[in-house]
Amino acid sequence: MKVVAGVILALVLAPTTGAATVRATVDHQAVGLGDPFRYTVEARAASATLRVVADTGPFAVVAAPKTSRSRTGGMTIVRVEQTLACLDRGCVPGARPRSVLLPAARAITATSSAVAPAVAITLTPRVPASAVAAARAAYRRQVEVPPPSTTISLGAAVAILAVAVAALIAFALLLVWRGLRHRRTVPVQGRVAGGLERALRLLRESAGRTAPDRRRAADYAGLAAAVRGGAQVADEASRIAWAPPDPEPADVGALAEHIESAVGSGK
């Protein structure tokens, strides 16, 4: 009888062949509101009917769950990975950190089941309680000037700037010198080919065209008048050509009459 009783006790205490096992883990034990974390449940059993139940409780699933099933050494392995985050009042922390339990994961087969220990997640507040209770929000102010990001010293930068300014001034003087030289080498008579008669004809014809044409005709007539010694009417023509407002048809007609009375018609 003692032998029979021992055999029966051994059968009762021995693990059932093909019994399921399950384990649940998280990649972060403490997270803040809205911070994602990975919740993994892995179950093993000899039965091919193994399935996993992994509820998330108050936590929201923020990515599509990944489920894998494999067979190794006569064992079926089911692995479920979920990305969760606290987005609900059921898990949100208060003034102090809050511990929230995920529902216990289960592994189920046709003949057995297993339950994993519940996993605890600590939810931490993003700001201290003093900041929440304050009448005005505290902002971080930068009161110090940040160091320069360049490696060039101040003296070198000033020297480079001075060289650049000198080069620009020299270039501007070169342009002015070339312009004056060109004006000296091209005689006024060459710039008013056709004489005063042609200039006056173009000036009167510009009365029927646009304001820019009237300006060009007035400038041309002023140069032709200067050749004939009419400096005063040349100044008047230059004012009409370049000063605001835009010359009207009557303005160029009056200018033509003034030039003719001052220096002649050019015939």
Whether the pLDDT of residue 3 is over 70: the answer is no
The pLDDT assigned to 265 comes to 63
Q: Which is more confidently placed, 183 or 81? A: 81
pLDDT above 90 (res 165):
yes
User: Cα separation of 78 and 263, whole Å?
Assistant: 110
Q: Is the pLDDT of residue 190 over 90?
A: no
Confidence tier at 138 by pLDDT (50, 70, 90): low
> Above 50 in pLDDT, residue 189?
no
Q: How far apart are CA 163 and CA 170, in angstroms?
A: 11
- Residue 24 corresponds to which tokens in the numbers above? 């649940």
Q: How far is CA 31 from CA 35, 56, 87, 237, in A?
A: 6, 15, 12, 83
Q: Is the distance from CB of 199 to CB of 241 less than 8 angstroms?
A: no
Of 79-93, 169-183, 206-220, the least confident: 169-183
pTM for the structure as a whole? 0.46
How does residue 144 score in pLDDT terms, banded at 50, 70 and 90?
A: confident
Listed in sequence order, the residues at least 6 apart from 90 whose beta carbon sits closer than 8 Å to its beta carbon are 57, 58, 100
Count the Cβ atoms, other than its own, within 10 Å of residue 25: 13
Query: Does position 192 have pLDDT exceeding 60, yes or no?
Result: no
- Could you give the CA distance from residue 199 to residue 89 in angstroms, rounded to a whole number? 90
Using 50, 70 and 90 to split pLDDT, how confident is the model at 6? very low
Q: Which CATH code, of 3.40.50.2300, 3.40.50.720, 2.60.40.10, 1.10.10.970, is assigned to 17-125?
A: 2.60.40.10
Average pLDDT of span 215-240: 86
pLDDT at 188: 47
**Residue 14: pLDDT band with limits 50, 70, 90:** very low
Confidence at 137, pLDDT banded by 50, 70, 90: low
Q: Which stretch of 89-98, 132-141, 228-237 has the lowest confidence by average pLDDT?
A: 132-141
What residues does each domain of the chain span? Answer: 17-125, 188-263
Would you place residue 41 in the very low, low, confident or very high pLDDT band (cuts 50, 70, 90)?
A: very high
